[in-house]
C-alpha cells in the first residue's frame, strides 16, 4: 500500500464547496497546498477576507478527523473545532485558529505552566471518553499493549536494518525491564485518557482561552506520557538540563489537576515510567506514518523509528 496522501483534488474541491455552501460561504480564490507529507496534506482555502484549512490524513491517521469532531462536542472551546469532517476519508475543514502560544507569549518558560495545567484539565475531563476514542479508531497505546508493540518493532526492517548489532542487542536485552515498566504503568491509579503525543506551545492557540490542535499523533494511553514531548521541547527551547528546577516546576504544574488521584509525590513517581514506556508509542507512530512510503520520505523520516527505540537506552529530560 502506498501511504502517500494523494486525494482526488476534484473531489476535495467539490467537498469544500459543498461544505462551505451549507454555511452560506464560498471559496474566493485558489486552494493552495501548503504542506505535503507522507501522512497528511494541508491546504489553505481563501473564503472572503479570511482563511479556512483543509486537511487530509493518510490511512495511518484517518481517525484524526473523527477525533476532532468528537473533541469539538466533548470539549467545546478547548480544542480547535472543525467546520466539517469526512470521517471515512479522513478529511477535515478547519477554521483559522489565530496565533499560537509560541507566537504570542514572551520567551519565558513560565507560560508553559499554564499550558500544561490546562492540558491536564482537558485530559482529566476526557477520562470517561477513553473507550469511545478507541472505538473511533484512535490507537490503543495503553500499557498492556506496549510490550507486544515493542517486540514487533524490534523485528521491523527499519530498525534491524539501521541499528548496529550491539544497539539492537541492547534493545532486545531491555525487553524484560520494559515489560516490568509497562506492568507498573498498567497498575497506575491514574486512568487512561487521550495522549496528544506532540504537545508544545506551537500546538496551542490563544485568544479566548487555550485551544489545542493537531491531534494526528494522538492515542489513548496513560495521560502522563504527554510529557515525553512537552518536556523535551521546553528543555530544548530554554536550554534546561535534566534536573533543572524549572523542569520540576513545569512537571508539578501539569500534575496539579491530577491530585485527586494521589499525593504530589505519588503522582511524580508515575511520570518516569509513563514517559519511558511512551517511547515505543512514539516509534510506532512514525512506523504507521511511513507504511508504504516511497524511498525519499522513507530515507528522510525513517530514522525516527529506530531513533525513538534507542531513546529507551537514554535518560529522560525530567
User: What stretch of H or E contains 232?
Assistant: helix 227-238
pTM for the structure as a whole: 0.94
Nearest residue to 316 (alpha-carbon basis) of 245, 255, 254, 229: 229
Mean pLDDT computed over every residue of the chain: 94
Q: Are residues 286 and 143 part of one domain?
A: yes
On whether the CB atoms of residues 71 and 54 are closer than 8 A, the answer is: no
Number of domains in the chain: 2
Q: What pLDDT digit, counting tens, does each position of 205-239 carry? A: 998 789 999 999 999 999 999 999 999 999 999 99
Determine, yes or no, domain membership for 1: no
Spatial separation of the C-alpha atoms in residues 58 and 33, rounded to whole Å: 15
Q: What is the DSSP letter of 206?
A: -
Determine, yes or no, domain membership for 318: no
Spatial separation of the C-alpha atoms in residues 85 and 71, rounded to whole Å: 12
Q: What pLDDT digit, counting tens, does each position of 18-62 carry? A: 999 998 999 999 999 999 999 999 999 999 989 999 999 998 899
Q: Are residues 289 and 266 part of one domain?
A: yes
Q: So what's the pLDDT on residue 2?
A: 43
The phi, psi pair for 55, rounded to 5°, reads -130, 130
Cell numbers 489545542 correspond to: 212
The phi, psi pair for 243, rounded to 5°, reads 90, -5
CATH number of the domain encompassing residue 277: 3.90.1200.10
Handedness of CA 98, 100, 106, 107 (dihedral sign): negative
Given 95, 129, 156, the domain boundary residue is 95
- What residues of the chain score a pLDDT lower than 70? 1-4
Determine, yes or no, domain membership for 3: no
Q: So what's the pLDDT on residue 292?
A: 84
Q: Are residues 280 and 253 part of one domain?
A: yes
Nearest residue to 201 (alpha-carbon basis) of 101, 125, 274, 298: 101
Q: So what's the pLDDT on residue 3?
A: 45
Q: Are residues 196 and 80 part of one domain?
A: no
Q: Are residues 84 and 134 part of one domain?
A: no
Given 95, 115, 141, the domain boundary residue is 95
Given 95, 114, 149, the domain boundary residue is 95
The phi, psi pair for 106, rounded to 5°, reads -65, 155
Domain that holds residue 109: 101-313
Q: So what's the pLDDT on residue 4?
A: 55
Determine, yes or no, domain membership for 4: no
Amino acid at each position: 500500500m502506498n501511504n502517500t496522501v494523494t486525494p482526488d483534488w476534484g473531489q476535495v474541491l467539490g467537498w469544500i464547496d459543498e461544505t462551505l455552501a451549507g454555511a452560506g460561504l464560498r471559496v474566493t480564490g485558489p486552494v493552495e497546498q501548503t504542506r505535503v507529507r507522507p501522512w497528511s496534506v494541508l491546504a489553505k482555502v481563501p473564503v472572503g477576507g479570511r482563511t479556512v484549512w483543509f486537511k487530509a490524513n493518510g490511512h495511518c491517521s484517518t481517525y484524526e478527523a473523527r477525533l476532532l469532531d468528537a473533541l469539538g462536542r466533548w470539549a467545546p472551546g478547548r480544542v480547535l473545532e472543525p467546520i466539517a469532517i469526512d470521517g471515512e476519508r479522513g478529511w477535515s475543514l478547519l477554521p483559522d485558529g489565530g496565533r499560537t502560544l509560541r507566537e504570542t507569549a514572551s520567551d519565558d518558560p513560565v507560560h508553559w505552566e499554564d499550558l500544561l495545567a490546562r492540558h491536564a484539565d482537558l485530559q482529566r475531563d476526557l477520562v470517561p471518553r477513553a473507550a469511545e476514542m478507541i472505538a473511533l479508531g484512535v490507537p490503543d497505546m495503553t500499557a498492556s499493549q506496549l510490550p507486544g508493540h515493542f517486540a514487533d518493532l524490534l523485528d521491523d526492517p527499519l530498525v534491524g536494518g539501521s541499528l548496529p548489532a550491539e544497539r539492537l542487542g541492547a534493545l532486545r536485552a531491555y525487553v524484560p525491564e520494559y515489560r516490568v515498566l509497562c506492568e507498573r504503568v498498567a497498575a497506575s491509579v491514574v486512568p487512561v485518557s487521550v495522549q496528544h503525543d506532540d504537545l508544545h506551545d506551537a500546538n496551542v492557540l490563544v485568544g479566548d482561552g487555550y485551544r489545542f490542535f493537531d491531534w494526528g499523533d494522538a492515542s489513548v494511553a496513560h495521560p502522563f506520557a504527554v510529557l515525553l514531548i512537552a518536556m523535551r521541547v521546553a528543555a530544548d527551547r530554554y536550554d534546561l538540563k535534566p534536573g533543572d528546577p524549572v523542569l520540576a516546576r513545569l512537571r508539578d504544574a501539569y500534575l496539579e489537576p491530577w491530585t485527586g488521584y494521589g499525593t504530589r509525590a505519588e503522582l511524580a513517581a508515575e511520570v518516569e515510567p509513563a514517559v519511558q514506556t511512551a517511547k515505543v508509542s512514539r516509534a510506532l507512530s512514525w512506523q504507521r506514518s511511513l507504511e508504504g512510503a516511497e524511498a525519499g520520505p522513507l530515507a528522510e523520516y525513517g530514522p525516527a523509528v529506530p531513533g525513538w527505540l534507542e531513546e529507551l537506552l537514554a535518560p529522560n529530560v525530567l
